[in-house]
A and B are shown apart, each in its own frame.
Chain A
Amino acid sequence: MSETIDSNTMKYKLINLYQQNKLAIDAGLTDSMNKHREESIRYFDSLGIPYKGDENYKYTDMMHAFGKMYGYAFKSPKTVVDPETIFHCAVPDLDTHTIILENGWYYAKNQEQSGLPNTIVALSIREATEAYPELIEKHYNEQANNKGQATTAFNTAFAQDGLFLYIPEGVVLEKPIQVINLLRGTNPLLVNQRNLIVAGKNSQSKLIVCDHTLSHQHFLSNTVTEVFVDENAIFDFYNIQNQHNQSSQVTSLFITQMKNSNTLCNTLTLHGGFVRNNIHIKFKGEHCEANAYGLAIVDGKQHVDNYTFIDHAVPNCTSNEMYKTILDDEATGAFNGKILVRPDAQKTLAFQSNKNICLTNTARFYTKPQLEIYADDVKCSHGATVGQMDEDALFYLKSRGIGGHEAKMMLMYAFAHEVLSHIRVPVLAERYGELVEKRLRGELSRCEGCFVHCN
Chain B
Amino acid sequence: MLSIKNLKASVDGKEILKGINLEVKAGEVHAIMGPNGSGKSTLSSVLAGSERFDVDGGEVTFNGKNLLDMAAEDRAREGLFLSFQYPIEIPGVSMVNFMKTAVNEHRKYLGQDSMSAGDFLKMLRDKKKVVEIDDRLTSRSVNEGFSGGEKKKNEIFQMAMLEPKLAILDETDSGLDIDALRVVANGVNKLKTKDNSTIVITHYQRLLDHIIPDFVHILYMGRIVKSGGKELALELEEKGYDWIKNEVAVG
Contact residues in B for A413 (Cβ distance below 8 Å) = 92-93
- CA–CA, A145 to B88, complex, Å? 50
Inter-subunit contact A395/B50 (CB<8 Å): yes
Q: Is B128 an interface residue (CB 8 A)?
A: no
Residues from chain B with a CB closer than 8 A to the CB of A404 are 71, 73
Shortest Cβ distance from A451 into chain B, in angstroms?
30
CB of A415 closer than 8 Å to a CB of B? yes
Contact B105 A414 (CB under 8 A): no
Contact in complex: A393, B74 (CB < 8 Å)? no
Interface membership of A78, Cβ < 8 A: no
Interface size class of A (residues with CB under 8 A): 20 to 34
Interface flags for A373-401 (1: CB within 8 Å of B; 0: not) read: 00000000000000000011101111111
Is A73's beta carbon under 8 Å from chain B? no
Checking B52, B71, B87, B98 against A410 with a beta-carbon cut-off of 8 angstroms, the contacting residue is: B98
Cβ-defined contact, B92 with A399, below 8 A: no
Q: Whole-angstrom distance between the alpha carbons of A347 and B32 in the complex? A: 56
B137 at the interface (CB under 8 A from A): no
> Bound state CA distance, A406 and B97, in angstroms?
12
B105 engages A418 (CB within 8 Å): no
How near does chain B come to A324, taking the closest CB pair, in angstroms?
11
Q: Which A390-436 residues have a C-beta within 8 angstroms of B?
A: 391-393, 395-404, 406-407, 410-411, 413-418
Q: CB-CB < 8 A to B92: which residues of A?
A: 413-418
Assembly CA distance A455 to B74 (angstroms)? 38
In the complex, chain A residues whose CB is within 8 Å of the CB of B216: none
Residues 84 to 116 of chain B near chain A (Cβ within 8 Å):
84, 87-88, 90-93, 97-98, 101-102, 105-106, 109
Instruction: Known contacts A393-B88, A393-B90, A414-B92; decide if A399 and B101 are in contact (CB<8 Å).
Output: no
Q: B172: CB under 8 A from chain A?
A: no
Interface string of B64-82 (1 = CB under 8 A from A): 0000000111111100011
Q: Are A418 and B91 in contact (CB under 8 A)?
A: yes
A401–B90 contact, CB under 8 A?
Answer: no
Task: Tell me the smallest distance from the CB of B143 to a CB of chain A, in Å.
Answer: 9
**B101 neighbours in A (Cβ, 8 Å):** 402, 406, 410
B49: interface (CB < 8 Å): yes
A245 to chain B, nearest CB (A): 27
Interface hits, A49-68 → B, CB 8 Å? none
Given that A401-B102, A406-B105 are contacting pairs, would A396 and B50 also be in contact in the complex, using a CB cutoff of 8 Å? no
At the interface, yes or no: B158 with Cβ under 8 Å from chain A? yes
Q: Give the contacting residue for A414; candidates B50, B72, B93; CB below 8 A.
A: B93
Q: Assuming A395-B51, A410-B101, A414-B93, is B73 touching A401 (CB within 8 A)?
A: yes
Bound together, the chains give a CA A401 to CA B90 distance in angstroms of 16
| Contact across chains for A414 and B73 when beta carbons are under 8 A apart | no
Closest to A409 in B: B101
Does residue B7 face the partner (Cβ distance < 8 Å to A)?
Answer: no
Interface membership of B48, Cβ < 8 A: yes
Q: Is B181 an interface residue (CB 8 A)?
A: no
The chain B residue sitting closest to A416, CB to CB, is: B92
Is B93 in contact with A400, judged by CB distance below 8 angstroms? no
Smallest distance from the beta carbon of A194 to chain B beta carbons, Å? 37
Give CA–CA (A117, B71) in the complex, Å: 59
In the complex, the chain B residue whose C-beta lies closest to that of A413 is: B92
Known: A399-B82, A401-B102, A401-B109. A414 touches B91 (CB 8 A): yes
Chain A residues contacting B71 (CB-CB under 8 Å) are 398, 403-404
Question: Cβ of B169: which chain A residues have Cβ within 8 Å of it?
Answer: none
Number of inter-chain CB pairs below 8 Å: 79
* A399 touching B76, Cβ below 8 Å: yes
Residues of B within 8 A of A411 (CB): 90, 93
CB–CB A396/B87 < 8 A = yes
Cα of A399 to Cα of B158 in the assembled complex, Å: 11
In the complex, B162 has a CB within 8 A of chain A: yes
Beta-carbon contact of B88 and A392 below 8 Å: yes
CB distance from A407 to the nearest CB of B (A): 7
Q: Are A401 and B77 touching (Cβ within 8 A)? A: yes
Which residues of chain A have C-beta atoms less than 8 A from B50's C-beta?
Answer: 395
Contact status B90-A396, CB under 8 Å: yes
Residues from chain B with Cβ under 8 Å of A392 in the complex: 88
B72 (CB) vs chain A CBs: closest residue: A398
Decide: B90 and A395 in contact? CB cutoff 8 A: no
Instruction: Please name all residues of chain B whose beta carbon is closer than 8 Å to the beta carbon of A398 when the two chains form the complex.
Output: 49, 71-73, 76
Contact A401 B76 (CB under 8 A): yes
Name the A residues within 8 Å of B88 (CB-CB).
Answer: 392-393, 396
A400, B90: Cβ atoms closer than 8 Å: no
The smallest C-beta distance from A435 to any residue of chain B, in angstroms, reads: 16
Q: For B74, what are the chain A residues with a Cβ–Cβ distance below 8 Å?
A: 403
Give Cα A398–Cα B78 distance, bound, in whole angstroms. Answer: 12
CB distance from B129 to the nearest CB of A (A): 21
B residues less than 8 Å from A416 (CB atoms) = 92
Least Cβ–Cβ distance between B163 and chain A, in angstroms: 11
Residues on B with C-beta less than 8 A from A400 are 76, 98, 102, 158, 162
Which chain A residue shows the least CB distance to B83? A399
Interface string of A302-343 (1 = CB under 8 A from B): 000000000000000000000000000000000000000000
Task: Name the CB-closest residue of B to A414.
Answer: B92
Per the bound structure, the CA–CA distance linking A446 and B208 in Å amounts to: 58
What residue of chain B has the Cβ atom nearest to residue A410's Cβ? Answer: B93
With A414-B92, A414-B93, A418-B91 known to touch, is A396 a contact of B84 (CB < 8 Å)?
A: yes
- Beta-carbon contact of B91 and A402 below 8 Å: no
Q: Are B87 and A403 in contact (CB under 8 A)?
A: no
Name the residue on A nearest B144 (C-beta).
Answer: A414
* With known contacts A395-B72, A396-B84, A402–B102 Cβ distance under 8 A: yes
Further contacts, 9 of them, CB under 8 A, given A398-B72, A399-B48, A413-B92: A395-B48, A395-B49, A399-B72, A399-B75, A401-B109, A402-B101, A403-B105, A410-B101, A413-B93
Closest 8 CB pairs of A and B: A414-B92, A403-B73, A417-B92, A401-B76, A398-B72, A400-B102, A398-B73, A401-B105
Binding site for A on B (CB under 8 A): 48-52, 71-77, 81-82, 84, 87-88, 90-93, 97-98, 101-102, 105-106, 109, 141-142, 158, 162
Could you show 28 A-B contacts with beta carbons less than 8 Å apart? A393-B90, A395-B51, A396-B84, A396-B87, A396-B88, A396-B90, A396-B142, A398-B71, A398-B72, A399-B49, A399-B72, A399-B75, A399-B76, A399-B82, A400-B76, A400-B98, A400-B162, A401-B73, A401-B76, A401-B77, A402-B101, A404-B73, A406-B101, A406-B105, A411-B90, A413-B93, A416-B92, A418-B92
